[in-house]
Amino acid sequence: MNGQMSYMENHFDKRLNPTLLVDDAKSVISLLLNYYPSELQNEDSYKISKYAYGQDYHHVIKEKLKELLHFIQAEIGEVSGRAFVDSAPVLDKAWAAKSGLGWVGKNSNLITQKVGSFYFIAELIIDLELDYDTPTTDHCGSCTACLDACPTEAIVAPYVVDGSKCISYFTIELKDNLPQEMKGKFDDWMFGCDVCQDVCPWNRFSKPHNEPLFQANRDILNFSKSDWEEITFDTFQKVFKNSAVKRTKYEGLLRNINFLKD
Protein backbone atom coordinates (compact mmCIF):
# COMPACT_ATOMS: atom_id res chain seq x y z
CA MET A 1 0.00 0.00 0.00
CA ASN A 2 2.97 2.30 -0.58
CA GLY A 3 1.99 3.54 -4.05
CA GLN A 4 4.98 5.02 -5.87
CA MET A 5 7.05 5.19 -2.67
CA SER A 6 9.27 2.34 -3.86
CA TYR A 7 11.98 3.28 -1.33
CA MET A 8 9.74 1.73 1.34
CA GLU A 9 10.35 -1.67 -0.27
CA ASN A 10 14.13 -1.36 0.01
CA HIS A 11 16.50 -2.44 2.78
CA PHE A 12 13.90 -4.31 4.80
CA ASP A 13 16.65 -6.19 6.58
CA LYS A 14 18.02 -2.88 7.88
CA ARG A 15 14.59 -1.80 9.09
CA LEU A 16 14.45 -4.88 11.29
CA ASN A 17 18.09 -4.98 12.36
CA PRO A 18 19.80 -1.71 13.39
CA THR A 19 23.20 -3.44 13.58
CA LEU A 20 23.16 -3.32 9.77
CA LEU A 21 22.97 0.49 10.00
CA VAL A 22 25.48 1.02 12.83
CA ASP A 23 28.36 -1.36 13.48
CA ASP A 24 28.16 -3.01 16.91
CA ALA A 25 24.86 -1.23 17.65
CA LYS A 26 23.55 -2.04 21.12
CA SER A 27 20.81 0.54 21.75
CA VAL A 28 18.22 2.67 20.00
CA ILE A 29 17.55 5.98 21.76
CA SER A 30 14.21 7.31 20.50
CA LEU A 31 13.42 11.00 20.91
CA LEU A 32 10.41 13.22 20.30
CA LEU A 33 10.31 16.92 19.42
CA ASN A 34 7.06 18.88 19.57
CA TYR A 35 6.07 20.91 16.50
CA TYR A 36 2.54 21.99 17.44
CA PRO A 37 2.27 25.69 16.44
CA SER A 38 1.04 28.58 18.58
CA GLU A 39 -0.84 30.00 15.56
CA LEU A 40 -2.73 28.27 12.77
CA GLN A 41 -3.25 29.32 9.17
CA ASN A 42 -5.87 31.79 8.04
CA GLU A 43 -9.14 29.85 7.71
CA ASP A 44 -9.68 31.09 4.14
CA SER A 45 -6.62 29.28 2.88
CA TYR A 46 -5.32 26.14 1.26
CA LYS A 47 -3.78 24.14 4.05
CA ILE A 48 -0.25 23.01 4.88
CA SER A 49 0.49 20.30 7.41
CA LYS A 50 1.63 21.87 10.68
CA TYR A 51 4.97 20.08 10.66
CA ALA A 52 5.97 22.12 7.60
CA TYR A 53 5.21 25.61 8.97
CA GLY A 54 8.82 26.28 9.95
CA GLN A 55 12.26 25.19 8.81
CA ASP A 56 12.89 21.68 7.53
CA TYR A 57 12.85 19.40 10.57
CA HIS A 58 15.52 17.10 9.11
CA HIS A 59 18.20 19.77 9.51
CA VAL A 60 16.93 21.19 12.81
CA ILE A 61 16.77 17.83 14.56
CA LYS A 62 19.98 16.43 13.06
CA GLU A 63 21.92 19.24 14.75
CA LYS A 64 20.26 18.49 18.09
CA LEU A 65 21.10 14.79 17.76
CA LYS A 66 24.74 15.60 17.03
CA GLU A 67 24.81 17.71 20.20
CA LEU A 68 23.32 14.84 22.20
CA LEU A 69 25.87 12.36 20.84
CA HIS A 70 28.71 14.77 21.69
CA PHE A 71 27.28 15.14 25.20
CA ILE A 72 27.17 11.36 25.64
CA GLN A 73 30.75 11.08 24.42
CA ALA A 74 31.89 13.87 26.76
CA GLU A 75 30.17 12.26 29.76
CA ILE A 76 30.94 8.60 29.11
CA GLY A 77 33.88 8.37 26.74
CA GLU A 78 34.25 6.67 23.40
CA VAL A 79 30.74 5.94 22.15
CA SER A 80 30.04 5.46 18.45
CA GLY A 81 26.67 6.08 16.92
CA ARG A 82 24.61 7.60 14.16
CA ALA A 83 21.70 10.01 14.09
CA PHE A 84 18.52 9.33 12.13
CA VAL A 85 15.75 11.77 11.25
CA ASP A 86 13.27 10.20 8.87
CA SER A 87 16.09 9.69 6.39
CA ALA A 88 17.04 5.99 6.46
CA PRO A 89 15.31 2.60 6.72
CA VAL A 90 14.51 2.91 10.44
CA LEU A 91 11.20 1.86 12.00
CA ASP A 92 10.77 5.17 13.83
CA LYS A 93 7.34 4.54 15.32
CA ALA A 94 8.01 0.91 16.22
CA TRP A 95 11.22 1.74 18.12
CA ALA A 96 9.57 4.70 19.84
CA ALA A 97 6.65 2.53 20.93
CA LYS A 98 9.03 -0.19 22.12
CA SER A 99 10.81 2.42 24.24
CA GLY A 100 7.58 3.55 25.91
CA LEU A 101 7.29 6.98 24.30
CA GLY A 102 3.72 6.25 23.22
CA TRP A 103 1.58 3.72 21.39
CA VAL A 104 0.90 3.41 17.68
CA GLY A 105 -2.69 4.54 17.32
CA LYS A 106 -5.48 3.59 14.94
CA ASN A 107 -4.28 6.32 12.55
CA SER A 108 -0.79 4.67 12.64
CA ASN A 109 0.75 7.71 14.36
CA LEU A 110 2.60 7.47 17.65
CA ILE A 111 0.35 8.92 20.38
CA THR A 112 1.17 9.83 23.95
CA GLN A 113 -1.30 10.64 26.72
CA LYS A 114 0.72 13.69 27.75
CA VAL A 115 1.04 15.67 24.51
CA GLY A 116 -0.85 13.85 21.77
CA SER A 117 0.92 13.20 18.46
CA PHE A 118 2.15 16.49 16.96
CA TYR A 119 5.86 15.73 17.26
CA PHE A 120 8.74 14.43 15.20
CA ILE A 121 10.45 11.14 15.99
CA ALA A 122 14.21 10.71 15.71
CA GLU A 123 16.85 8.22 16.86
CA LEU A 124 20.39 7.82 17.97
CA ILE A 125 21.62 4.28 17.42
CA ILE A 126 24.75 3.73 19.52
CA ASP A 127 27.15 0.94 20.54
CA LEU A 128 26.41 1.30 24.26
CA GLU A 129 24.23 -0.90 26.48
CA LEU A 130 21.65 1.12 28.44
CA ASP A 131 18.95 0.56 31.02
CA TYR A 132 15.98 0.00 28.73
CA ASP A 133 12.45 1.34 28.98
CA THR A 134 9.40 -0.78 28.27
CA PRO A 135 6.34 -0.26 26.05
CA THR A 136 3.29 1.56 27.29
CA THR A 137 -0.31 0.46 26.77
CA ASP A 138 -2.73 1.34 23.96
CA HIS A 139 -5.26 4.02 24.89
CA CYS A 140 -7.29 4.33 21.68
CA GLY A 141 -10.09 2.29 23.20
CA SER A 142 -13.27 2.17 21.14
CA CYS A 143 -12.60 5.57 19.50
CA THR A 144 -12.82 5.65 15.69
CA ALA A 145 -12.56 9.43 15.18
CA CYS A 146 -9.59 9.17 12.81
CA LEU A 147 -11.16 6.43 10.68
CA ASP A 148 -14.43 8.35 10.45
CA ALA A 149 -12.80 11.68 9.55
CA CYS A 150 -10.21 10.68 6.93
CA PRO A 151 -11.33 12.49 3.75
CA THR A 152 -10.03 9.77 1.40
CA GLU A 153 -10.79 6.77 3.65
CA ALA A 154 -7.08 5.95 3.73
CA ILE A 155 -7.36 4.37 7.19
CA VAL A 156 -8.75 1.13 5.84
CA ALA A 157 -8.94 -0.59 9.25
CA PRO A 158 -7.88 0.29 12.79
CA TYR A 159 -4.06 0.62 12.80
CA VAL A 160 -3.86 0.10 9.01
CA VAL A 161 -3.26 3.03 6.63
CA ASP A 162 -3.26 2.62 2.87
CA GLY A 163 -0.45 5.04 2.09
CA SER A 164 -1.44 5.19 -1.58
CA LYS A 165 -4.79 6.77 -0.60
CA CYS A 166 -3.44 9.32 1.90
CA ILE A 167 -3.65 13.04 1.08
CA SER A 168 -0.04 13.45 2.26
CA TYR A 169 1.02 10.87 -0.32
CA PHE A 170 -0.91 12.54 -3.12
CA THR A 171 0.28 16.08 -2.36
CA ILE A 172 3.93 15.29 -1.55
CA GLU A 173 5.11 11.93 -2.85
CA LEU A 174 3.05 11.33 -6.01
CA LYS A 175 4.83 12.76 -9.03
CA ASP A 176 2.11 11.98 -11.60
CA ASN A 177 -1.15 13.85 -12.14
CA LEU A 178 -3.53 13.62 -9.21
CA PRO A 179 -6.27 11.00 -9.79
CA GLN A 180 -9.60 12.47 -10.84
CA GLU A 181 -11.50 10.10 -8.56
CA MET A 182 -10.00 12.04 -5.63
CA LYS A 183 -11.41 15.34 -6.86
CA GLY A 184 -13.22 17.16 -4.08
CA LYS A 185 -11.82 14.88 -1.34
CA PHE A 186 -8.72 16.82 -0.32
CA ASP A 187 -10.46 19.17 2.11
CA ASP A 188 -8.28 22.08 0.83
CA TRP A 189 -4.97 20.40 1.82
CA MET A 190 -2.25 21.47 -0.62
CA PHE A 191 0.72 19.97 1.29
CA GLY A 192 0.25 17.07 3.66
CA CYS A 193 -2.80 16.51 5.85
CA ASP A 194 -3.46 16.68 9.61
CA VAL A 195 -7.08 15.51 9.73
CA CYS A 196 -6.46 12.22 11.56
CA GLN A 197 -4.42 14.09 14.16
CA ASP A 198 -6.72 17.10 14.44
CA VAL A 199 -9.68 14.88 15.38
CA CYS A 200 -7.71 12.67 17.81
CA PRO A 201 -8.97 13.32 21.37
CA TRP A 202 -5.45 12.99 22.77
CA ASN A 203 -4.35 16.07 20.83
CA ARG A 204 -6.44 18.29 23.07
CA PHE A 205 -3.34 18.05 25.27
CA SER A 206 -1.06 19.49 22.55
CA LYS A 207 0.93 22.53 23.66
CA PRO A 208 2.78 24.99 21.40
CA HIS A 209 6.43 24.18 20.75
CA ASN A 210 9.26 26.45 21.90
CA GLU A 211 11.63 25.88 18.98
CA PRO A 212 12.33 29.21 17.19
CA LEU A 213 13.30 27.42 13.97
CA PHE A 214 9.80 25.93 13.75
CA GLN A 215 8.12 29.35 13.84
CA ALA A 216 6.00 29.85 10.74
CA ASN A 217 6.72 32.33 8.01
CA ARG A 218 3.98 34.96 8.37
CA ASP A 219 2.92 34.45 4.75
CA ILE A 220 2.09 30.81 5.49
CA LEU A 221 -0.25 31.94 8.25
CA ASN A 222 -1.77 34.93 6.47
CA PHE A 223 -2.05 34.00 2.77
CA SER A 224 -5.60 33.54 1.45
CA LYS A 225 -6.59 31.08 -1.27
CA SER A 226 -6.20 33.78 -3.90
CA ASP A 227 -2.68 34.53 -2.66
CA TRP A 228 -1.72 30.88 -3.05
CA GLU A 229 -3.34 30.68 -6.48
CA GLU A 230 -1.16 33.59 -7.64
CA ILE A 231 2.10 32.43 -6.02
CA THR A 232 5.18 32.96 -8.20
CA PHE A 233 8.36 30.91 -8.20
CA ASP A 234 10.24 33.74 -6.47
CA THR A 235 7.60 33.97 -3.73
CA PHE A 236 7.66 30.18 -3.31
CA GLN A 237 11.44 30.32 -2.85
CA LYS A 238 11.12 33.12 -0.30
CA VAL A 239 8.23 31.70 1.73
CA PHE A 240 9.59 28.14 1.79
CA LYS A 241 13.29 28.84 2.15
CA ASN A 242 14.77 25.94 4.17
CA SER A 243 11.30 24.36 4.33
CA ALA A 244 10.14 20.75 3.98
CA VAL A 245 7.59 22.05 1.44
CA LYS A 246 10.42 22.24 -1.09
CA ARG A 247 10.10 18.46 -1.39
CA THR A 248 7.02 18.90 -3.58
CA LYS A 249 8.74 21.71 -5.58
CA TYR A 250 7.03 24.78 -7.00
CA GLU A 251 5.45 22.84 -9.86
CA GLY A 252 4.08 20.23 -7.47
CA LEU A 253 2.51 22.84 -5.21
CA LEU A 254 0.91 24.55 -8.21
CA ARG A 255 -0.45 21.17 -9.37
CA ASN A 256 -2.01 20.64 -5.94
CA ILE A 257 -3.51 24.14 -5.81
CA ASN A 258 -4.97 23.83 -9.29
CA PHE A 259 -6.47 20.47 -8.36
CA LEU A 260 -8.18 22.08 -5.37
CA LYS A 261 -9.53 25.16 -7.13
CA ASP A 262 -10.89 23.72 -10.39
- Residue numbers annotated as active site: 86
Q: How far apart are CA 230 and CA 253, in angstroms?
A: 12
Give the number of other CB atoms < 10 A from CB of residue 89.
17
